[in-house]
Amino acid sequence: MSSLRIKSDIKQILVVLLIVIFFVTLIFLNYVLFSTRAFIYEQNIKNQIPPIPGRFLWSLPISNESYCNFNYGLPNKLNFSESDLHFPPQEGTNSSYRVLYNVVEGDVEESVPKVTYVTHVTVDFVLFIPEIVRYWNGPISIAAFVPAQDAQIFFQKLFRICLCLADMSRVSIHLVFPVNFEPYLEEFTNSSHFQDCEVRNEFKDKFNRIEHDISYPINVGRNVAREAANTHFVMVTDIELIPSAHLAESFLEMMQFFRGIDPVTQVYVVPTFEVEIGYDMPLTKKNLLELVDAGAAVYFHKFLCPHCQKFPGIDAWVTKQERKSVEPFLSVKREYPFHRWEPIFIGTKLDPLYDEALSWEGLQDKMPQMLQMCLLNYRFVILDNAFLVHWPGIKGRHKRTNDGWRTPYIKRNTERYGHIIRQIASTTESSVNRKCRLQ
């Protein structure tokens, strides 16, 4: 009897061992398969050639006349006096930067949807200007940071774009520069200098900001471009963010439908995504969701700053099928646990300004504005069937960049943000919404 029981126990042990071995083998094979797929996927991504912004211009005919409305002696030279210069909107006379508004002055027809794409640019990103013009059919207001010789590089590229793209007539451009490094431009023959529309990003003697201890004043650019907009509604965004199809007019149609429901303290969030290199830019939600399902699109900065652009209700947003019209999806406040959220939104020129003491290099440059909007009890209406897509490439997915060079700038921004928080805490102690989480 004992012998039979032992044999039975041995059989049970063997069966358990076989089951364990089976599942371990299965897990191992899945791991190998996943690793192999991941390796192939990474190799495919590495072999993809990143798209060139402005590449579509190359097939366009060049014009003898510029489509841009230049001021201050442009395009042949840049002439301005001290009386033409302005101080930035927030810091005013305390600022070390100066502004020259409307060096290019947009002319907007009545039929153009009155929502302005507000953005900023350096010489490195000039070729994104035609991409925005291509996809956004409303007015465009751009602040260009052009210290010293960067103005020569900037205008040399811009002049050719203005000879090739008719819709540049909708673009206004304003110059921002350090007071000690005014932009200069050598005399330049415009149309006869160019033979085609093949504009490339080539840089010679570019201004070295690090060498001169000058950071990129991203919030000066945002405020300047927003201040110069001539429409009630504005969308302050970054120049690498491409809008979904017909976003401006679809938004205005929605606002017409919901006429009267537009309080001052309400803005409209445009969800932001990024797409792998090698895929076409999605212009409809249907196309975007196909890429999300395939793992080729994720919400913006998912791998670099997960809390920055992961908006409330995102899981439901990416499962809700496309509809033709832009419509409200969810109305929320920027309160805990979304107190680190930095949405891009369509708002107005009455919204709080961006803090101009914060630099791009130091990160968290939108946080004071976001905190102020929370304390002012703003509502954030997340839009459906509208979105922005970062120019192809998912940041941080395949390798981490070395951002050690940012350390001193991060320290400066952190100190500035700490000062802002102390100011708020001391002046509004009794009325602070604790859910806004000052830290």
Contact between residue 300 and residue 225 where contact means Cβ atoms under 8 Å apart: no
* 34 shares its domain with 71: no
* 15 shares its domain with 153: no
Q: In the block, which residue shows the tokens 């006379």?
A: 93
Domain boundary among 237, 260, 279: 237
* 288 shares its domain with 217: no
pTM of the model: 0.86
* 368 shares its domain with 326: yes
* 166 shares its domain with 257: no
Contact between residue 136 and residue 248 where contact means Cβ atoms under 8 Å apart: yes
- The C-alpha atoms of residue 118 and residue 136 are separated, in whole angstroms, by 11
* 380 shares its domain with 282: yes
Per-residue confidence (pLDDT) for residue 410, from 0 to 100? 85
* 383 shares its domain with 429: yes
* 306 shares its domain with 399: yes
* 2 shares its domain with 21: yes
Domain boundary among 171, 206, 237: 237
- The C-alpha atoms of residue 244 and residue 311 are separated, in whole angstroms, by 18
- The C-alpha atoms of residue 269 and residue 213 are separated, in whole angstroms, by 35
Q: In this structure, what token pair is assigned to residue 384?
A: 């459906």
Per-residue confidence (pLDDT) for residue 395, from 0 to 100? 82
Contact between residue 371 and residue 425 where contact means Cβ atoms under 8 Å apart: no
Domain that holds residue 195: 53-237
Per-residue confidence (pLDDT) for residue 429, from 0 to 100? 54
- The C-alpha atoms of residue 116 and residue 227 are separated, in whole angstroms, by 11
* 271 shares its domain with 412: yes
pLDDT tens per residue, the chain (439 residues)?
Answer: 556 566 666 667 766 676 667 666 666 655 555 444 444 444 444 455 678 899 999 999 999 999 999 999 999 899 999 999 999 999 999 999 999 999 999 988 888 999 999 999 999 999 999 999 999 999 999 999 999 999 999 999 999 999 999 999 999 999 999 999 999 988 764 555 788 999 888 777 888 888 888 999 999 999 999 999 999 999 999 999 999 999 999 999 999 887 656 677 899 999 999 999 999 999 999 999 999 999 999 999 898 888 888 999 999 999 999 988 999 999 999 988 888 899 999 999 999 999 999 888 878 889 889 988 998 899 999 999 999 999 988 887 666 566 677 888 888 888 888 888 777 766 655 456 677 865 5
DSSP state of 173: E
Per-residue confidence (pLDDT) for residue 399, from 0 to 100? 60
* 117 shares its domain with 231: yes
Number of folded domains that form the chain? 3
In this structure, how many other beta carbons lie within 10 angstroms of the beta carbon of residue 264? Answer: 11
- The C-alpha atoms of residue 85 and residue 87 are separated, in whole angstroms, by 7
* 81 shares its domain with 43: no
